[in-house]
Amino acid sequence: MRFRFASPLTPALVLAVVVLAGCSSTSSSGNGVASKTPAEIVAASKSAAAAAATVHVAGSILSEGKPISLDMELVGKNGVGDNGGRGQLTLGGLGIKLIAIDKAVYVKGNDAFYTHFAGAKAARLLHGKWLKGSAEHGPLASFASLANLGKVIESTLQDHGPLTSAGTTTVNGQKAVGVSDIAHDGTLYVATSGAPYPLEIVKSGSAAGAGKIVFDRWNKPVTLLPPTNAIDIDQLQSTR
């Protein structure tokens, strides 16, 4: 498991942060994952994640000395209605709210975000407004990846360094087994009862990537609604 905590606002980096959870379960019996090898634990976690209906992921990390925070609710293909997600990301003083529904993505930046990426004049015009774009192409398309559960899973779990067991423990009141990526100093904790879904990723210290990401609210209802009066970015660009 490559636990690379990196800068948001560029999806390829954010995706490396996030491992999403699989289906939750109320069963209190052991699921046998603790007796598996580290590689098998990761594989079991990935398999469970692929069956997720919804999941909430939140936490904070450091990147280049700046704090990053994210708070996202994602809906997988097994969820009800359109898959996609909603939430918010911040990097220092830059922040965005994000909603992705089917083939559309909506972004609402704070003044600092709009100023940084579009200039002061545009920031005044865009203050408090949502932008709408295609989730498949165009300037906002990359943000859609942040709300695609399947892409997040694949981007995070497809690559890792040497793995080792970190033993069993309790995470947020749940029994878990840890798997550490030696090369990247990160530890993934996976539930040992019910479905073997991830509970959190932790990277200690003060170096780049240090922080914690927590996963919860599996299969809880998530309603995705497009914001009203969003500005179509394609039409905005055509008027330039």
Higher pLDDT, 62 or 59: 59
DSSP string, 199-233: EEEEE-SSSTT-EEEEEE-TT------PPTTPEEH
Measure the CA–CA gap between 125 and 239, rounded to whole angstroms. 14
Beta bridge partners of 99: 86, 106
7-35 tens-digit pLDDT: 344 443 444 343 333 333 334 468 999 99
Instruction: State mean pLDDT over 116-124.
Output: 92
Residues 196-217 pLDDT 10s: 998 898 887 666 667 888 888 8
- Strands 66-75, 54-63: parallel, antiparallel or unpaired by DSSP? antiparallel
pLDDT score, position 19: 34
| pLDDT > 80? residue 98 | yes
pLDDT at 76 over 80: yes
Other CB atoms within 10 Å distance of the CB of residue 83: 21
- Surface-to-core class of residue 17, CB atoms within 10 Å of its CB (0-12 exposed, 13-18 middle, 19+ buried): buried
In the 8-state DSSP scheme, what is residue 143? Answer: H
Would you state the pLDDT for residue 107?
Answer: 96
> What's phi and psi for 182, nearest 5 deg?
-60, -40
Q: What is the mean pLDDT of residues 124-153?
A: 87
Any bridge partners for residue 205, and if so which? none
Tell which CATH classification among 3.30.70.20, 2.40.160.210, 2.50.20.20, 1.10.10.10 matches the domain 11-234: 2.50.20.20
Q: Tokens for 21? A: 């959870």
Our measurement of the distance from residue 179's CA atom to the centroid of its chain's CA atoms, rounded to an integer in Å, reads: 19
How far apart are alpha carbons 177 and 228 in whole angstroms? 44
The average pLDDT across 46-71 equals: 84
Q: What is the pLDDT of residues 151-194, one digit of tens each?
A: 766 665 566 789 999 999 999 999 999 999 887 788 999 999 99
**CA–CA dist 54, 57 (Å, integer):** 10
Domain ranges of the chain: 11-234
* Beta bridge partner(s), residue 73: 56, 86
Over residues 39-51, the mean pLDDT reads: 88
C-alpha dist (Å) from residue 153 to 28, 76, 97, 200, 221: 26, 11, 21, 14, 20
